[in-house]
Chain A
């Protein structure tokens, strides 16, 4: 059966004869009986449900299958701007970093300083990749591609600087660095690696670096 791309036109009412039904998308939906107790729409949908268990039809029957999408519609032009403000994402980020650290800690041959440095480095690498390398949106936006050449950091909150999420994401690598320095006992090699990694993730977050692409890297 052709996949259910369009929501069928109801043109339904109680007690109408079958010939009056028109405009239903596929042959399967043409009702052949008169329904007196339910509306034609319900009849069509029930029959379709019985035959093919179509999830689109399910969602159109409230009360029977209460799976309507209430409260999910938004008019945000670029949803990427609001991702870092969404409910629970800060906690999820912290938990993910902790999970990374715990997994690294469980590797037997790594010592504690090495694990902390590795956590710091991997966390900063992932942050650099997701926030400062990947550009544009995975979906089409109604603004004809305004954010096509912008990284996620530059898209956050439509370019407004020093919002809450931006502050949080700037402070967390610093905290991780301070912890890592403590646990590596301020060793020189670890210092160099950690500081380099921290700088790579702090510099792109400065407002002076908004939209800046050094040496043409990652420009297009």
Chain B
């Protein structure tokens, strides 16, 4: 009723007049606060810079621009490069246009035909006729490129087939293909490890792992190369930290990133101990198997087969197909739950064009060859042991690497102290070998970008195509070079 409503309103206004003072004062303050808010400007919360304006001006004035083209010495490696042309076919003895084939076992460097001890063609699949025929037929079928990433018109049946075959070969649930080997582990690490997470990584990790770590924005803790005690010390420190702050520990993830066969030092990681540490300290293992895939293990499945470790113990295996498999690109394999995440979070998978189908078909054929003939791996291992033995005792050079490793390093026993001088000496040895038709190469790094720059070395690669006699000749040549140049 109208009078009833009016009566309620009168009561309300009366209550307002009888309101306690503190309440009305508070409301007044709040209304003033609203007015202040309405007129305040937006601003960003800046992090305090410790430089005053004057110091900033001084720094700006001091700065000198660097020259666009810095002065380099005449013997900078970028100015003295080796030119690799195709190799001459065995049929005709002279180089002619139609017989110019890409380099594989034999390689033409600076116009001289040499035996290839420099390419990572471990299983000799680069010049396999079967692989070439398969690649050509799929070139005719699919054309050259895919013109799209995997999620946008870039998936072909060969991609899916290659993923299935790789998963079956490695005996994991699923595999995922990347179109560039370097980008494989560099995309896989940041897909799982974010800001605030902790990654324990070996000091000798390769450059692509380092770029992946940098992209992940996580806390990186390096442990000494293959030193399990150092790693355990770091893990124990982390455990103590976790016990101090269990709520923080519950939200951060911990990873260990290791390589099966290290490309920089050519030795194996102690995988069984790492798996023990994994279960003791609850860390995930990411294993990078670029050098050991297709090399180690009875059937070429890599370092897990070599050590007899259950493949389900490793959370993610990443490898590139550019070494033993003689294709381009890389893959990651593991449980479906893990690998499926990369289909949306792997930057190299979602935002790069997919692998050209010709190369995927070549990789499938290479896998066929690997599966049909497991004797190949035994042959390669024997050759590696042979090369390792043959290179021992070279005066002035030490062989760095395991007897099982197909890519050994030859480092100077006594370094001269300066990296450029060491490189000059090693380059002289390489030149001597090139003259004698053995193609070797210096191990190259981006000196300024590497975290732990390895010492300069010559990389000697063993393939199944190299005959006993060629190996002996190469070892002899290196010994002579070392005697002549390093004495």
Of the residues A10, A175, A186, A210, contact of B45 by C-beta under 8 Å: A210
- Complexed CA–CA distance, A22 and B194 (Å): 39
Most chain B beta-carbon neighbours within 10 Å: one of A145, A146, A210: A145
Q: Which of A163-211 contact B (CB under 8 A)?
A: 163, 167, 170-171, 174-175, 177-178, 181-183, 185-186, 188, 191, 195, 207, 210
**Is A23's CB under 8 angstroms from B156's CB?**
yes
Complex interface residues of chain A between 2 and 44 (CB less than 8 A to chain B): 5-10, 22-25
CB distance from A48 to the nearest CB of B (A): 16
B375 beta carbon closer than 8 Å to chain A: no
B137-174 contacts to A (CB < 8 Å) = 141-142, 146, 148, 150-157, 160
A78-120: CB near B (< 8 Å → 1, else 0) gives: 0000000000000000000000000000000000000000000
User: Of residues 354 to 383 in B, which have CB atoms within 8 Å of A's CB atoms?
Assistant: 357
The chain A residue with its CB closest to the CB of B40 is A162
User: Across the interface, which residues of A come within 8 angstroms of B155, CB to CB?
Assistant: 6-9, 23, 25
Contact A183 B196 (CB under 8 A): no
Q: Is A161 an interface residue (CB 8 A)?
A: yes
Instruction: Decide if A6 touches B30 in the complex (CB within 8 Å).
Output: no
Question: Complex: how many Å from CA A14 to CA B190?
Answer: 43
Is B142's CB under 8 angstroms from A22's CB? Answer: yes
In the complex, the answer to whether B216 meets A144 with C-beta atoms within 8 Å is yes
- CB < 8 Å: which of B45, B160, B195 contacts A161? B45
Nearest B residue to A170 via CB reads B37
Question: Size of chain A's interface in residues, with CB distance under 8 A?
Answer: 41
Q: Which residues of A contact B146 (CB under 8 A)?
A: 9
Shortest CB–CB separation between residue A217 and chain B, in angstroms? 10
B11–chain A nearest beta-carbon distance, Å: 8
Q: Which of B23, B44, B141, B148 contacts A22, CB < 8 Å?
A: B141
Specify which chain B residues have a CB less than 8 angstroms from the CB of A167 in the assembled complex.
Answer: 37-38, 40
A10 close to B248 (CB less than 8 A) = no
**How would you classify the secondary structure of chain A's contact residues: helix, strand, loop or mixed?**
loop
Contact B15 A185 (CB under 8 A): yes
Judge whether B38 and A149 touch: CB under 8 Å: no
**Among A5, A9, A195, which residue has the most Cβ atoms of chain B within 10 A?**
A9
Determine if A67 is an interface residue (Cβ-Cβ < 8 Å): no
A220 on the B face (CB < 8 A) = yes
Q: How far is the CB of B195 from chain A (nearest CB, A)?
A: 5
Smallest CB–CB gap between B194 and chain A, Å?
Answer: 4
CB <8 Å contact, A163 and B251 = no
A177 contact set on B, CB distance < 8 A = 30
Contact partners of B44 in chain A: CB under 8 A: 159-161
Question: Nearest Cβ in chain A — how far from B48, in angstroms?
Answer: 14
Option from A162, A186, A220 in Cβ contact (under 8 Å) with B16: A186
- A28, chain B: closest CB distance, angstroms: 12
Closest to B158 in A: A23
B51 within 8 A of A: no
C-alpha spacing A219/B196, complex, angstroms: 13
Q: At the interface, yes or no: B2 with Cβ under 8 Å from chain A?
A: no
- In the complex, per-residue mask of A43-77: 1 if CB is within 8 Å of any chain B CB, else 0: 00000000000000000000000000000000000
When C-beta atoms are compared, the residue in chain A nearest to B20 turns out to be A186
Contact present for B19 and A145 (CB under 8 Å):
no
B59 at the interface (CB under 8 A from A): no
A130 to B134, CA, bound (A): 58
- CA–CA, A163 and B16, complex, Å: 34
Nearest CB in chain A to that of B347: its residue? A142
CA distance A121 to B31 in the complex (A): 20
Q: How distant is B465 from chain A, measured CB to nearest CB, in Å?
A: 33
Q: B305 → chain A, closest Cβ, in Å?
A: 30
Residue of B nearest to A25 (CB): B155
A210 and B44 CA atoms in complex are apart in Å by 11
The answer to whether B156 and A174 have CB atoms under 8 Å apart is no
Q: Are A163 and B30 in contact (CB under 8 A)?
A: no
Known: A148-B194, A162-B37, A177-B30. A182 touches B12 (CB 8 A): yes
Q: Is B49 an interface residue (CB 8 A)?
A: no
- Shortest CB distance B219–A (Å): 12
* Chain B residues, Cβ within 8 Å of A7: 151-153, 155
Please name the residue on chain B nearest to A163 by beta carbon.
B42
User: Is B142's CB under 8 angstroms from A25's CB?
Assistant: no
Answer whether A24 and B157 are a contact pair too, CB < 8 Å, given A161-B43, A162-B43, A185-B15: yes
Give min CB distance, A165 to chain B, whole Å. 11
Contact between chains at B12 and A186 (CB < 8 Å): no
Chain B residues with Cβ below 8 Å from A162 are 37, 40-43
From A185, which residue of chain B is reached at the shortest CB distance? B15
Q: Do A144 and B217 have beta carbons less than 8 Å apart?
A: yes
User: Is B69 in the interface zone, CB < 8 Å from A?
Assistant: no
The reply to whether A23 and B157 form a contact with Cβ atoms under 8 Å apart is yes
Find chain A residues with CB under 8 A from B343 CB: 5
Beyond the given A9-B154, A144-B218, please list 8 additional residue pairs across the A-B interface where CB-CB is below 8 A: A23-B357, A145-B217, A160-B45, A161-B45, A162-B43, A174-B34, A185-B11, A220-B250
- Footprint of A on B, CB under 8 Å? 11-12, 15-16, 18-20, 23-24, 26-27, 30-31, 33-34, 37-38, 40-45, 141-142, 146, 148, 150-157, 160, 190, 194-196, 215-218, 245, 247-248, 250-251, 343-345, 357
Task: Return 22 A-B CB contacts under 8 Å, by A number.
Answer: A10-B153, A22-B141, A22-B156, A23-B142, A25-B160, A140-B344, A144-B216, A144-B218, A145-B195, A148-B194, A149-B196, A159-B45, A163-B42, A167-B40, A174-B30, A185-B11, A185-B15, A186-B19, A186-B24, A219-B248, A220-B247, A220-B251
